[in-house]
C-alpha cells in the first residue's frame, strides 16, 4: 500500500512561516515523522513538495496506477486551482485534503476550496497532527488502485 503526500506552495517554510498560525514544526520533521509512522503501519509514504502548480499536476498524473491514495495540502492553490482539482479527478485516485490551520477561522476567501467536495475527507485546524491523522486514516481506508 502506497500513499503520496503532497505539500503545495510555501509549505517548505513550515516551522518558520507565521508560526502563530502554522506552528514551529518544520516540513522536514513532518516528513520524518510520516516515514516512521508509515513503517509502523507497514505502508509506504512518498513525500513531494512544490511551489509550482504545474509540477503538482505532473506529480498527480504520474501517480496514476502507482498509489492507493493521496494526502494533499495544496496551500494557497486550495483556493485557486481548477488544474489541481482536474488532475485529481482525472487520475481517479482518492484523496484527503489537509490544512494545518483552521481555514474557516481566517479570511473569508480561505473557506472556499476547489477540492473539498471531491475529497474523501477534509482535515483542518489540527496543526501538523493533521498529517498523522491523515496517514492513519489512509492506511486503514485507502487501498483501491495499486496492489
Residues in contact with ligand DQA by the rule CB under 6 A: 10, 73, 75-76, 78, 99-101, 103, 110
Starting at the edge strand found earlier in the chain, the sheet holding 95-99 runs: 44-49, 2-7, 69-73, 95-99, 121-124
DSSP assignment of 58-116 equals: HHHHHTTTT-SEEEEE-GGGGGT-HHHHHHHHHHT--EEEEESS-GGGS-GGGG--SSG
99: annotated active-site residue:
yes
Residue list, annotated binding site: 73, 79, 86, 100-101, 110
Q: How far is the CB of 54 from ligand DQA (least distance, A)?
A: 18
Specify the residue, 1 or 8, whose C-beta has the smaller distance to ligand DQA: 8
**Are 61 and 139 spatial neighbours (Cβ–Cβ below 8 Å)?**
no
Task: Please count the helices (runs of H) and the strands (runs of E) in the chain.
Answer: 5, 5
Question: How far apart are alpha carbons 31 and 131 in whole angstroms?
Answer: 9
Any catalytic annotation for residue 104? no
Q: How far is the CB of 145 from ligand DQA (least distance, A)?
A: 25
Joined grid coordinates for residue 112: 472556499
Give least dist CB 27 to ligand DQA, A.
11
Q: Which residues are catalytic?
A: 22, 99
Amino acid at each position: 500500500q502506497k500513499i503520496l503526500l503532497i505539500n503545495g506552495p510555501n509549505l517548505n517554510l513550515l516551522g518558520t512561516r507565521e508560526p502563530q498560525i502554522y506552528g514551529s514544526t518544520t516540513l522536514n520533521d513532518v516528513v520524518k515523522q510520516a516515514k516512521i509512522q508509515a513503517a509502523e503501519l507497514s505502508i509506504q509514504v512518498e513525500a513531494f513538495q512544490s511551489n509550482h502548480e504545474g509540477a503538482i499536476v505532473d506529480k498527480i498524473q504520474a501517480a496514476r496506477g502507482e498509489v492507493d491514495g493521496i494526502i494533499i495540502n495544496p496551500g494557497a492553490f486550495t483556493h485557486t486551482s481548477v488544474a489541481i482539482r482536474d488532475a485529481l479527478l482525472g487520475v481517479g485516485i482518492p484523496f484527503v485534503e489537509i490544512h494545518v490551520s483552521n481555514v474557516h477561522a481566517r479570511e473569508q476567501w480561505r473557506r472556499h476550496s476547489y477540492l473539498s467536495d471531491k475529497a474523501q475527507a477534509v482535515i483542518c485546524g489540527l496543526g501538523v497532527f493533521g498529517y498523522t491523522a491523515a496517514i492513519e486514516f489512509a492506511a486503514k481506508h485507502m487501498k483501491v488502485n495499486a496492489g
